[in-house]
Amino acid sequence: MNVYDSELVGGQLEKLGYKHTKKIDSADLIFLNTCSIREKAEETVHNKLENLHYLKKRNPKLLIGVLGCMAQNLKNEILESKPYVDIVLGPDSYRKIFDILQFRKTQNGSIVDTKLSKFEVYNDLFPSRHKGINAWISIMRGCDKFCTFCIVPFTRGRERSRTVNEIIKEAEKAVDDGFVEITLLGQNVNSYFTPEGDFSYLLERVAKIKGIKRIRYTSPHPQDINQELLKVMAKYENICNYIHLPLQSGSDRILKRMNRTYTSKEFLSLVDLIKKYMPNCSISTDIIVGFPGETEEEFNDTLKVVDKVQFNFAYMFKYSSRPGTKASQYTDQIDENTKQMRLEKLIEHQRKNSLMANRKQIGKIEKVLIEKDSKKSEHFWSGRTEGNIWTVIKKTDENIKDIVPVLINDAQGVTLFGEKIKNREENYEIN
Ligand code: SAH
Ligand code: SF4
Cα separation, 321 vs 396, whole angstroms: 51
**Of 308 and 127, the one with more pLDDT:** 308
Give the mean model confidence (pLDDT) for residues 78-86.
92
Report the separation in Å between the CA atom of 220 and the middle of ligand 2, taken as the mean of its atom positions.
Answer: 10
Report the separation in Å between the CA atom of 187 and the middle of ligand 1, taken as the mean of its atom positions.
Answer: 10
Cα separation, 135 vs 158, whole angstroms: 25
Q: Among 87-91, 193-197, 381-385, 420-424, which stretch is predicted with the lowest mean pLDDT?
A: 420-424
Give the mean model confidence (pLDDT) for residues 309-318.
97
- Assess whether the C-beta atom of 41 lies below 6 angstroms from ligand 1: no
279-309 pLDDT, tens per residue? Answer: 999 999 999 999 999 999 999 999 999 999 9
Report the separation in Å between the CA atom of 270 and the middle of ligand 1, taken as the mean of its atom positions.
Answer: 20
Asked if the model's pLDDT at residue 428 lies above 60, the reply is: no
| Own/partner pairs, 338-345, CB within 8 angstroms, 24+ separation | 338/290, 339/289, 339/290, 342/289, 342/290, 342/294, 342/299, 342/318, 343/289, 343/290, 343/316, 343/317, 343/318, 345/299, 345/303
Can you give the pLDDT at residue 413? 86
31-65 pLDDT, tens per residue? Answer: 999 999 999 999 999 999 999 999 999 999 899 99
Nearest atom (ligand 1) to Cα of 246 = 8
Q: Among 98-107, 235-244, 301-310, which stretch is predicted with the lowest mean pLDDT?
A: 98-107
Polymer length of the chain: 431
Nearest atom (ligand 2) to Cα of 187 = 7
- 420, 405 in Cβ contact below 8 A? yes
Predicted confidence band of residue 423 (pLDDT cuts 50, 70, 90): low
HSE value, Cβ hemisphere, 13 Å, CA-based, for 366: 34
362-383 pLDDT, tens per residue? Answer: 999 999 999 999 998 899 999 9
Sheet holding 242-244, edge to edge: 242-244, 282-289, 313-318
Q: Which residue, among 74, 112, 117, 71, has the nearest Cα to 92 in the 3D structure?
A: 117
Mean pLDDT of the chain: 94
Cα separation, 153 vs 143, whole angstroms: 5
Cα separation, 19 vs 36, whole angstroms: 28
* b/e burial code for range 100-131 (CB count within 10 A of at least 16 → b): bbeebeeeeebbbbbebbeebbbeebbbebee
Report the separation in Å between the CA atom of 360 and the middle of ligand 2, taken as the mean of its atom positions.
Answer: 32
Cα separation, 5 vs 211, whole angstroms: 25
Can you give the pLDDT at residue 430? 53
Give the mean model confidence (pLDDT) for residues 88-106.
88
318-331 pLDDT, tens per residue? Answer: 999 999 999 999 99
- 200, 170 in Cβ contact below 8 A? no
Asked if the model's pLDDT at residue 425 lies above 60, the reply is: no
Q: What are the CA-CA distances from residue 388 to residues 188, 215, 278 (Å)? A: 20, 11, 15
Report the separation in Å between the CA atom of 150 and the middle of ligand 1, taken as the mean of its atom positions.
Answer: 6
Can you give the pLDDT at residue 103? 81
Which residue intervals of 148-250 are DSSP H helices?
152-156, 164-176, 199-207, 227-235
- 31, 55 in Cβ contact below 8 A? no
Q: Angle formed by the axes of helices 164-176 and 199-207, to 10°?
A: 30
Ligand 2 pocket (Cβ < 6 Å) reads 143, 145-147, 150, 152-153, 187-188, 221
Report pTM.
Answer: 0.93
Can you give the pLDDT at residue 108? 78
Sheet holding 111-113, edge to edge: 29-34, 63-68, 87-89, 111-113
Report the separation in Å between the CA atom of 222 and the middle of ligand 1, taken as the mean of its atom positions.
Answer: 13
Sign, CA torsion 125/126/130/133: positive
Asked if the model's pLDDT at residue 151 lies above 90, the reply is: yes
Can you give the pLDDT at residue 124? 81
Nearest atom (ligand 2) to Cα of 259 = 3
Asked if the model's pLDDT at residue 106 lies above 70, the reply is: yes
Predicted confidence band of residue 384 (pLDDT cuts 50, 70, 90): very high
248-258 pLDDT, tens per residue? Answer: 999 999 999 99
Q: Angle formed by the axes of helices 264-277 and 227-235, to 10°?
A: 30
* DSSP secondary structure of 351-392: HHHHHHHHHTTTTSEEEEEEEEE-SS-TTEEEEE-TT--EEE
Asked if the model's pLDDT at residue 20 lies above 60, the reply is: yes
- Assess whether the C-beta atom of 217 lies below 6 angstroms from ligand 1: no
Can you give the pLDDT at residue 233? 98
Cα separation, 417 vs 394, whole angstroms: 9
Q: Identify which of 2, 37, 291, 326 to mutate to test ligand 1's pocket (most ligand atoms within 8 A of the CB).
A: 37
Give the mean model confidence (pLDDT) for residues 151-157.
95
Can you give the pLDDT at residue 376? 82
158-189 pLDDT, tens per residue? Answer: 999 999 999 999 999 999 999 999 999 999 99
- Assess whether the C-beta atom of 149 lies below 6 angstroms from ligand 1: yes
Nearest atom (ligand 1) to Cα of 315 = 15
- State the first-to-last Cα distance of the chain, in angstroms, to the nearest integer: 29
User: Residue 415 phi/psi, 5° resolution?
Assistant: -115, 145
- Assess whether the C-beta atom of 186 lies below 6 angstroms from ligand 1: no
Nearest atom (ligand 1) to Cα of 219 = 2
**Which residues, in sequence order, are CB contacts of 79 under 8 Å at separation 6+?**
85, 88, 110, 112
Report the separation in Å between the CA atom of 431 and the middle of ligand 2, taken as the mean of its atom positions.
Answer: 32
Can you give the pLDDT at residue 128? 87
Cα separation, 337 vs 351, whole angstroms: 21
Residue nearest ligand 2's atom 3 by CA: 147
Predicted confidence band of residue 123 (pLDDT cuts 50, 70, 90): confident
Residue nearest ligand 1's atom 4 by CA: 187
- Assess whether the C-beta atom of 188 lies below 6 angstroms from ligand 1: yes
Q: What are the CA-CA distances from residue 72 to residues 69, 83, 94, 108, 114 (Å)? A: 5, 17, 12, 22, 5
Cα separation, 115 vs 228, whole angstroms: 36
Cα separation, 107 vs 94, whole angstroms: 19
Predicted confidence band of residue 429 (pLDDT cuts 50, 70, 90): low
Predicted confidence band of residue 417 (pLDDT cuts 50, 70, 90): very high
269-280 pLDDT, tens per residue? Answer: 999 999 999 999
Report the separation in Å between the CA atom of 147 and the middle of ligand 2, taken as the mean of its atom positions.
Answer: 5
Predicted confidence band of residue 431 (pLDDT cuts 50, 70, 90): low
Q: Identify which of 72, 138, 144, 145 to mutate to test ligand 2's pocket (most ligand atoms within 8 A of the CB).
A: 145
